[in-house]
């Protein structure tokens, strides 16, 4: 099985990881009921939760050592961070040692600010040093595919992130960046040039 991932995978938030626009659908001041998993409420009782498959995808990437980024152009920057801090991600399936963690701990990088996502990715590149060819981005808005001009692989999310869409994105990245296998002739050239 091919388990090759890009070094960094970034996710949009609204309608990619959760089914709402955090700036217009959610009132300020979020609350979690005890240790309820994957669910917080705003002052009107409206719910914020990740789509069903998101938790295990985050676990898979974390285990694989992939740098995980959130990349959103919402104007509700603080509220988005608050939601990520409060949302509890269930443990990794089939791993008895896995514990409940706040969603924000899964994200190595947060780029949450309005404007073109080109700027978000330039920041990610600057902060991590990871080349754009090693970045894969999941987003539900077609306009954000402009990041492809940098060399980032873009995967459109049509009904929220699920396992099928995630696999499609990763396959898309693998197809665009085939594994470099050195044949004997190439190795010889490499040896003599050392």
Comparing C-alpha atoms, which of 179, 177, 128, 171 is closest to residue 152?
177
Q: Which of residues 133-162 bind Mg ion (CB under 5 A)?
A: 140
Q: Which residues contact 154 (CB under 8 A, 6 or more apart)?
A: 137, 139, 144, 145, 147, 148
- Using CB under 5 A as the binding rule, whether residue 15 contacts Mg ion is answered as yes
d(CA 123, CA 85): 22
Q: Is 14 a catalytic residue?
A: yes
Give me the least distance between CB of 144 and Mg ion, in Å please: 8
Q: Which of 11, 14, 22, 80 binds Mg ion (CB under 5 A)?
A: 14
Nearer to Mg ion, 55 or 157 (CB): 157
Give me the least distance between CB of 123 and Mg ion, in Å please: 18
- Using CB under 5 A as the binding rule, whether residue 12 contacts Mg ion is answered as yes
Q: With CB under 5 A as the contact rule, which of the stretches 12-20, 30-38, 93-101, 127-135 interacts with Mg ion? A: 12-20
Nearer to Mg ion, 26 or 101 (CB): 26
- Using CB under 5 A as the binding rule, whether residue 111 contacts Mg ion is answered as no
Q: Which residues bind Mg ion (CB under 5 A)?
A: 12, 14-15, 140
Name the residues annotated as catalytic: 12, 14
């Amino acid at each position: 099985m091919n388990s090759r991932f890009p070094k960094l995978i970034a996710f949009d938030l609204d309608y990619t990881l959760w089914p709402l626009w955090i700036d217009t659908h959610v009132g300020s001041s979020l609350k979690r009921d005890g240790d309820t998993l994957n669910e917080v409420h705003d002052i009107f009782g409206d719910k914020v939760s990740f789509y069903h498959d998101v938790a295990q995808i985050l676990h898979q990437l974390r285990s694989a050592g992939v740098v995980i980024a959130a990349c959103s152009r919402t104007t509700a920057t603080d509220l988005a961070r608050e939601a990520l801090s409060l949302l509890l991600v269930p443990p990794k399936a089939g791993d008895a040692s896995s514990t409940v963690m706040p969603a924000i701990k899964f994200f190595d990088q947060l780029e949450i600010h309005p404007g073109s996502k080109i700027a978000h990715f330039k920041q990610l590149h600057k902060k991590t040093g990871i080349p754009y060819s090693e970045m894969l981005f999941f987003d539900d808005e077609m306009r954000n595919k402009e990041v492809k001009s940098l060399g980032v692989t873009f995967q459109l999310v049509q009904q929220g992130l699920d396992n099928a869409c995630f696999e499609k994105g990763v396959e898309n990245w693998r197809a665009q960046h085939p594994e470099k296998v050195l044949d004997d002739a190439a190795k010889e050239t490499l040896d003599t040039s050392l």
